Structure 1
Amino acid sequence: MLFSRVRGLPVLTPGDAERLGVVRALTVDAAHGRVTHVRIGRGRLRREAVVAWGALRAVGPDMLIVRPSGGPAGAPPHRDLLGSRVLTECGEERGTVLDAAFDPLTARIGTVLTTSGELPAGRLLGLGDHALVIRTGHAHHRV
């Protein structure tokens, strides 16, 4: 499933299918290559809801169903993967993130699609305010 296809999907509760809002963004742990939380937009005047990926009951192409939870306790800070600059650990520019593909059952990221091509998740080191940092994939670094 692509990150871009998840954005805007409705988020519902099981049973009565109460609409909680729509997916605003996905939070990732780049170092471990997985989606950790869903950020749910709840309207203009209501605060964003944050739900752990493990609290989802079902993920489909047209909606997410979430178990009721106690709230966003312990939610990590959010940094948007889509649109992030891509830098190697040596500081070399490698384009911008266009999208990312992940497995909705395991939340594992498979590939990150950038303006410079596809990156396997195994090359991801971290995601910060400034950029997505990746391994160069080379055994030796230029000095």
Structure 2
Amino acid sequence: MTLFSQVTGLPVEAVGGGRLGAVRSLVVDVASGRVTHARVRRGRLRRDAVVAWTDLRATAHGLRATRPTTDAPATPDLIGTEALTERGEEHGTVLDAEFDPLTGRLDTVLTTHGTVPASHLLGLGTHALIVEDA
């Protein structure tokens, strides 16, 4: 298993070679329980790019995109998001998440109040991550 924090900051090489940027965050589809994309910071004055997780390959120095990128859609970041239960009770702030880098499957989300199995995630919005009541 790999932590999001281990992937954040890794350099990403463009399809034809050269530096694309660095991983800023990972995009998660809570319904499928998978990392779907990596958001890549391309520079100060350029918009972030998005690379499908399945289109990234590990290299000795970071990651390489195997297909062209697109501009980043407006999707919420998991890390730093408040976690709430179905009843609206606080469950801390998301500090990190653990996932399988080969499949993208989420395993556990780590919050300031403890860990949450990926199977207990219900939704992710701009305000909060919603988890099942304990």
Matched, 1:72 2:70: yes
Q: In structure 2, do the counterparts of structure 1 residues 62 and 120 end up closer, same or farther at CA, with 3 Å as the change threshold?
A: farther
Shift of 1:17: 3.9
Q: What per-residue deviation string (whole Å, max 9, x for no partner) do you get for residues 5-35 of structure 1? A: 1111100146x64211100111111122111
SS at match of 1:32: coil
Instruction: Give the RMSD, CA atoms, in angstroms.
Output: 1.9
| Count of aligned pairs | 133
Q: In the aligned structure 1, how far is the partner of 2:126 from the partner of 2:48?
A: 20
- After superposing on structure 2, the runs of 4+ consecutive aligned residues of structure 1 that deviate more than 4 Å are none
- Residue pairs, 1:10-29, within 5 angstroms: 10-13=11-14, 17-29=17-29
Q: In structure 2, do the counterparts of structure 1 residues 114 and 62 end up closer, same or farther at CA, with 3 Å as the change threshold?
A: farther
Shift of 1:82: 0.6
- Residue pairs, 1:52-67, within 5 angstroms: 52-56=52-56, 58-59=57-58, 62-67=61-66
Runs of 5+ unmatched residues, structure 2: none
Shift of 1:96: 0.8
SS at match of 1:20: strand
- Residue pairs, 1:60-139, within 5 angstroms: 62-69=61-68, 71-72=69-70, 76-137=73-134
Q: In the aligned structure 2, how far is the partner of 1:87 from the partner of 1:51?
A: 29
Shift of 1:42: 0.7
Runs of 5+ unmatched residues, structure 1: 138-143
Which residue does the alignment assign to 1:8? 9
Calculate percent identity across the aligned residue pairs.
Answer: 56
* Structure with greater strand percent: 2
Matched, 1:33 2:33: yes
* TM-score normalised by length of structure 2: 0.90
Q: In structure 2, do the counterparts of structure 1 residues 62 and 81 end up closer, same or farther at CA, with 3 Å as the change threshold?
A: farther
Q: In structure 2, do the counterparts of structure 1 residues 62 and 124 end up closer, same or farther at CA, with 3 Å as the change threshold?
A: farther
Larger radius of gyration: 1
Q: In the aligned structure 1, how far is the partner of 2:27 from the partner of 2:60?
A: 19
